[in-house]
Amino acid sequence: MNDKFERWFLEMDTFLENLDNGFKAMNVGSLDVAELNGKMYSTIKGSEYTQSFANPAFADFMLGGGYGKLCSFMSYEAYSLIGYKFDKKSSLMEPFLNMYQDIRTLYETGKLTYDTFHNRIYRYLYESCEIFYEDRIRDMIVPRESAARRIVTKDGLGDVTYLYKYGEYITDTEIKTARFLNLLSQEKIDKMAEVFVMGYKKGFETTGRPFEKKKSVGIIYKVGFERLVKAEIEAFKALGLETALYRTPRSAVIRQSSKRNGFHGAVANYQADYDHARDALFFMDEKLKDKKLKAVRKAYEKYAAEADVYGGPAVMETFGEVPFDYKESKFVLTPADAQIRLGTSFMAEAASIANEYVKGEERSFTIIAYPTPDIGEDFKEIFAETVKLNTLDSDIYMNIQQKMIDVLNRSRSVIIVGAGENETYLTINLFRPQDPSTQENFENCVADVNIPLGEVFTSPRLEGTTGLLNVSRVFLSGFEYKDLKVEFKDGFVSGYSCSNFDDDKKGREYFKKNVLFDHDTLPMGEFAIGTNTVAYMMARKYNIEHLMPILIAEKTGPHFALGDTCYSHGEDVRVFNQNGREIIAKDNEVSVLRKTDPGKAYFNCHTDITIPYEEIGSLSAIGDDGEETEIIRSGRFVLPGTELLNEAFETNG
């Protein structure tokens, strides 16, 4: 017997025992729920991860020979059992538990080799994908009774021990958030819910989508916000919509990234999530891809009627968490290039299947963000200012932004030049309205799907969109980039670098993995001018620029999205600005391929990169005659009619 393998089995058995104890504690009302919650995550949280088999480096040190990586996969995958245990979904626990027992038997009978180990994991991913995808898709689009729904709507939220009933990892942040929300008046809670829910409804109204047809909505939130979620459920119900609450996916069978796409607690270990982000890709082949696609289609077909009346997600993001300094590890499961291509192809084809049933031209969404106590001692003040930010006067911004659109509507391009050490020099080629009296090329974005308000945006023409985008420091989906430079040629990324690492190659790999999502290149799907100077100055006032979510950060300067356009899968829906003019710039040279070659039309990603105002030397619209009209100069708005936006600089500067 190999004592090191025995240690892995002991760690796994201890985890399963802690899981049982944690679950039983909630059922009997144990006073030790906090301690037992911590024990369930004991081999992954904090510094304990360094000595855990869930850590690929430690597992490799202990077992080597490829076994370490496979054991590490198993140890991390085991954490997906927690959610299924607390949701009482034993059928989704059985595939993993059977695999674990089979591996133990192979070891005890002397038949455990790297190949038999690898093949058993592959069989787990292959054979269980059908039940996993059916469960996931049903949870997303079918409102029904669930553990989460009972917590939010039926439990008393005054005693914050309810937080442990999810089985999610709970820290002081979730406890403090729940206690803070419990102190707010019902009037304030209801107002916050109203802003969120009415923004969702406006998303349908402004795009002419059939809101009256919809019967359900999914709410995504972080644990601790239950009092607000409860008010949102009631507000949606008043509009005729039932709500679905679903857990973020954790199993490699269905997990596509480390992004939280469902309700979730604290992240037990960001590095662990990063280390295991590509685990499933390591086992990907054509056979598995085909099986997964069939599973996705079968699930949507089973719930086709429910999918047809599902309106889309309503997302509450949070911000304030200190960005994590991710480390690259050579011991992680590393997929081959061919496997990565299969993974990106699967995501595109799965999204296409989903769009057949939850039709892009009929669905919408809304997103809002609130700070958590992680943001520091000014949490209460920042929370209050964020609530005000989410309720800025739409009419004022709509009128100011229309001044910009009037100029952009008769322009052939926009040129952005950086200030000081910022090396940005970028030409954005614009689509031109055939009839400017009835058409416009930029959408006037106020408070609907993206809250807070404050931007005008377009899908640029790719041909002729060329140059260098540079920003000194930016956080994209929680990943920091220093001195980021992205080069464009005819709208596509042609080069990129950042100074995060001494080795330039590592910087490029970091960007490709986390922004390009393993694509060789991506098009510029969006160009926008953010106008929310109030948000910008709030971030500067509290020195939290590095903590702001993209949702708010994108409103605080010009931004450029890599990936799909803002109208992805809904390009044929007629969209109008508030003045009745139709927006014509919804397609680009890639998305239009949906008509002839759908497999090449979408990338299923969209990442905004914002240049803050102080790094902008000039942003100018260029007319057909070459005449230049400045919109921003030296970080300030100079176009006549937009000067009011500068008041925030003066008031808070």
Mapping DSSP onto H, E and C, the string for 611-624 reads CCHHHEEEEEEEEC
C-alpha–C-alpha distance, residues 442 and 14, integer Å: 57
Q: Quick one: pLDDT band at residue 131, thresholds 50, 70, 90?
A: very high
Q: Quick one: pLDDT band at residue 443, thresholds 50, 70, 90?
A: very high
C-alpha–C-alpha distance, residues 98 and 385, integer Å: 51
CB neighbour burial string for 415-438, b if at least 16 within 10 angstroms, e if fewer: bbbbbeebebebebbbbbbeeeee
DSSP helix/strand/coil, 41 = coil
* Amino acid residing at 44: I
What are the phi and psi torsion angles at 637 (to 5°)? -80, 125
Cβ pair 235, 197 in contact under 8 A? yes
Longest dimension (CA), the chain: 81
* Amino acid residing at 592: V
Whether the per-residue pLDDT at 15 is higher than 70: the answer is yes
Whether the per-residue pLDDT at 652 is higher than 70: the answer is no
- Report pLDDT digits (tens) over 581-613: 999 999 999 999 988 988 889 998 999 999 999
What Å distances lie between residue 514 and 153, 209, 511, 607, CA to CA? 37, 33, 5, 10
What is the overall mean pLDDT for the chain? 94
Whether the per-residue pLDDT at 72 is higher than 80: the answer is yes
- Report pLDDT digits (tens) over 35-55: 999 999 999 998 899 999 999
Whether the per-residue pLDDT at 572 is higher than 90: the answer is no
Cβ pair 370, 321 in contact under 8 A? no
Q: What percent of the chain has pLDDT over 90?
A: 83
Whether the per-residue pLDDT at 208 is higher than 90: the answer is no
Q: Quick one: pLDDT band at residue 256, thresholds 50, 70, 90?
A: confident
- Looking at residue 434, its pLDDT comes to 92
Whether the per-residue pLDDT at 77 is higher than 70: the answer is yes
Average pLDDT on 388-394 reads 91
C-alpha–C-alpha distance, residues 490 and 504, integer Å: 25
Q: Which two tokens stand for residue 537?
A: 């100055």
Q: Which of 10-14, 62-66, 421-425 has the lowest mean pLDDT?
A: 62-66
Q: Is 336 exposed, middle or buried (0-12, 13-18, 19+ CB in 10 A)?
A: exposed
Whether the per-residue pLDDT at 232 is higher than 80: the answer is yes
Pairing mode, if any, of strands 558-563 and 606-610?
antiparallel
Whether the per-residue pLDDT at 472 is higher than 90: the answer is yes
Q: Output the pTM of the full model.
A: 0.91
- Looking at residue 638, its pLDDT comes to 97
- Looking at residue 246, its pLDDT comes to 96
Q: Is 299 exposed, middle or buried (0-12, 13-18, 19+ CB in 10 A)?
A: buried
Q: Which of 127-136, 178-187, 448-457, 529-538 has the lowest mean pLDDT?
A: 448-457
Average pLDDT on 537-563 reads 93
Whether the per-residue pLDDT at 81 is higher than 80: the answer is yes
- Looking at residue 31, its pLDDT comes to 66
Q: Quick one: pLDDT band at residue 97, thresholds 50, 70, 90?
A: very high
Q: Which of 188-197, 347-356, 403-412, 635-644 has the lowest mean pLDDT?
A: 347-356
- Looking at residue 440, its pLDDT comes to 96
Average pLDDT on 277-281 reads 94
Q: Which two tokens stand for residue 294?
A: 């069939």
Break the chain into its structural domains and give their ranges.
3-131, 147-369, 392-652
